[in-house]
């Protein structure tokens, strides 16, 4: 059964306002734009109404309200990863659920509106670190429910494998605490299922003892990209699990915050995190330092607080167009194919083209089974361009088409950018379990993203 769809224009959102402590806003009201603004400003997020939940009970009221009035709900925490097609009815933003508690014995509890930076800072005095993302400005819940591929993934695995408990309002309007023994099928589905079954209000997860790391980014001139990528392929193939690495072709504009030697030109960044001793990390990384003349070297021993220096992702909202896939292999022919469309001498409209090496602990199942189905992937490919640049979408599609001989396996949920592509993130057994869980926990189809399972 699914809800009888009602036009959002006919829904009495004043009723929801009376039922909740948080702020309810509709288009035209002063607070509306601030509450719905996503990080990717190229995506038009214009729900019929938005609720800034004050607490978990507000989320319960919102889901039950939606069911009564025949509309669907979509959560948003920090505004990363929005999809316009999923944000047409009622949006529930959890950004005010900002609880952060770090336990010195090695775990944390956070509210759904918390970004990784707060946990990184709170855990650092105890020599602990979370399995945060490539930038600590990203929200914890969306990242973790999509698996959570971070800069230490080959050593410590996925963030979703460290989850101890999730508090969630499921599509039937019930607030539940979910663990490996309490609602185990829901625990399976929430870790990797990317919010298809409920709106998370809090999450608890293990930390790792990682006060410091050896790593950062090493930059080369774009003209040296062919030789550096060939060296990276050979070097990374021998890299132990203490090392996690990727490379990215950048075309950074001349603007504040971009080092002058990197601006207005094609450059290549090799990213590296070594979780063992700095001496061993430096020894392993020597081969990359010798690959070609270095433009900028930021690889050194650092506190985990400096983890953002590895991927150097932007902090400010950006009008981005993103596309991606997973690869079964990255042989020399694949590297040449990628460079033919994005390398030196090519008029590429992309600002970033990234290849991450996977494997190691990423490939091994966690202690408890989850809906994350991409562990067989050997590499991930991500393409990011500025949405306003003419031809950026066609060029990104051409890159993915050219790389098709090496594309295989299931998409990474967090690198999936359209609703219809979500089904490609799961195998048939996992899809069957997700659909069964949806029938149990969201029988009326209140959650908008869950509709991709129909």
Nearby residues of 378 by Cβ (< 8 Å), 6 or more positions away: 326, 327, 328, 329, 330, 357, 358, 359
Note the pLDDT of residue 1.
Answer: 42
End-to-end CA gap in the chain:
11
The rounded distance, in Å, linking the Cα atoms of 442 and 436 is 10
List the alpha helices (DSSP H) in 139-224: 140-145, 153-156, 184-190
Closest by CA to 156, choosing from 209, 215, 233, 216, is 209
Q: Domain coordinates of the chain in residue numbers? A: 8-93, 100-209+429-440, 212-419
Which regions of 163-211 does DSSP assign to beta strands (E)?
163-170, 175-178, 198-206, 208-209
* Nearest CA-CA partner of 195 in 14, 454, 442, 373: 442
Q: Which of 376, 95, 367 is nearest to 206 (CA)?
A: 367
Question: What pLDDT digit, counting tens, does each position of 80-124 carry?
Answer: 666 667 778 999 999 999 999 999 999 999 999 999 999 999 999
**What's the pLDDT at 87?**
79
Measure Cα distances from 303 to 278, 287, 346 in Å: 11, 23, 38
CA distances from 132 to 179, 206, 366, 416 (A): 21, 12, 17, 19
Residues of the chain with pLDDT under 70: 1-6, 39-42, 79-84
Chain centre to alpha carbon of residue 382: 12
Strands 212-221 and 49-52, by their bridges, are: unpaired
Rounded Cα distance, 449 and 263, in Å: 39
Secondary structure of 144-167 as H, E, C letters: HHCCCCCCCHHHHCCHHHHEEEEE
Cα–Cα nearest to 247, from 275, 277, 227, 276: 227
pLDDT at 391: 93
CATH of segment(s) 100-209+429-440:
3.30.465.10
Q: What is the pLDDT of residues 287-323, one digit of tens each?
A: 999 999 999 999 999 999 999 999 998 777 778 899 9
CATH assignment of 212-419? 3.40.462.20
User: Can you give the C-alpha Rg of the chain in angstroms?
Assistant: 22
pLDDT at 34: 87
Pick one of 3.90.1170.50, 3.40.50.300, 3.30.43.10, 3.30.1300.10 as the CATH number of 8-93.
3.30.43.10
- The neighbouring-strand residues paired with 381 are 325, 355
Element (H, E) at 231: helix 225-237
DSSP-assigned beta bridge partners for residue 263 = 252
Cα of 82 vs its chain's centroid, Å? 11
Q: How far apart are CA 289 and CA 200, in angstroms?
A: 43
The answer to whether 437 and 189 are in contact (CB under 8 A) is yes
Closest CA to 169 of 260, 253, 63: 63
Unique residue bearing structure tokens 């939940």: 53
189 in Cβ contact with 433 (< 8 Å): yes
For 51, counting Cβ atoms within 10 Å of its Cβ (0-12 exposed, 13-18 middle, 19+ buried), the class is buried
**Cα 348 from Cα 399, distance rounded (Å):** 10
pTM of the predicted structure, to 2 decimals: 0.94
């Amino acid at each position: 059964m699914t809800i009888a769809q009602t036009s959002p224009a006919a829904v009495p959102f004043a009723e929801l306002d009376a039922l909740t402590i948080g702020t309810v806003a509709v288009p035209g009201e002063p607070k509306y734009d601030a509450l719905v603004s996503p990080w990717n400003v190229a995506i038009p997020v214009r729900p019929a109404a938005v609720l800034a939940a004050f607490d978990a009970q507000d989320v319960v009221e919102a889901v039950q309200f939606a069911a009564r009035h025949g509309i669907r709900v979509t959560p948003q925490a920090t505004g990363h990863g929005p999809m316009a097609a999923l944000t047409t009815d009622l949006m529930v933003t959890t950004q005010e659920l900002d609880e952060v508690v770090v336990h010195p014995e090695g775990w944390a509890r956070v509210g759904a509106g918390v970004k990784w930076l707060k946990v990184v800072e709170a855990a650092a005095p105890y020599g602990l670190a979370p399995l945060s993302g490539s930038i600590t400005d990203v929200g914890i819940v969306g990242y973790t429910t999509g698996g959570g591929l971070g800069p230490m993934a080959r050593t410590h695995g996925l963030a979703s494998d460290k989850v101890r408990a999730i508090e969630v309002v499921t599509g039937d309007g019930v607030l539940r605490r979910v663990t490996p023994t309490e609602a185990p099928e829901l625990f399976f589905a929430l870790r990797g299922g990317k919010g298809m079954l409920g709106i998370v209000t809090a999450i608890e997860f293990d930390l790792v003892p990682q006060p410091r790391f050896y790593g950062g980014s090493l930059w080369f001139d774009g003209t040296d990209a062919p030789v550096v990528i060939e060296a990276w392929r050979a070097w990374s193939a021998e890299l132990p699990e203490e090392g996690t690495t990727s490379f990215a072709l950048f075309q950074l504009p001349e603007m504040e915050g971009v080092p002058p030697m990197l601006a207005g030109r094609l450059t290549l960044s090799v990213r590296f995190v070594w979780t063992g001793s700095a001496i061993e990390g430096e020894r392993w990384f020597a081969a990359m330092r010798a690959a070609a003349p270095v433009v900028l070297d930021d690889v050194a021993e650092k506190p985990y607080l400096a983890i953002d220096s590895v991927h150097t992702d932007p902090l400010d909202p950006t009008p981005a167009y993103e596309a991606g896939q997973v690869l079964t292999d990255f042989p020399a022919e694949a590297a040449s194919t990628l460079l033919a469309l994005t390398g030196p001498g090519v008029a590429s409209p992309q600002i970033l083209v990234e290849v991450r090496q996977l494997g190691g602990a990423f490939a091994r199942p966690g202690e408890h089974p989850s809906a994350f189905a991409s562990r067989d992937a050997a590499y991930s490919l991500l393409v990011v361009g500025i949405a306003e640049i003419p031809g950026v979408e066609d060029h990104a599609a051409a890159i993915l088409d050219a790389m098709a001989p090496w594309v295989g396996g299931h998409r990474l949920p967090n690198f999936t950018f359209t609703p219809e592509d979500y089904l490609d993130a799961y195998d048939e057994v996992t899809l069957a379990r997700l659909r069964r869980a949806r029938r149990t926990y969201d029988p009326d189809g209140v959650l908008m993203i869950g509709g991709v399972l129909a």
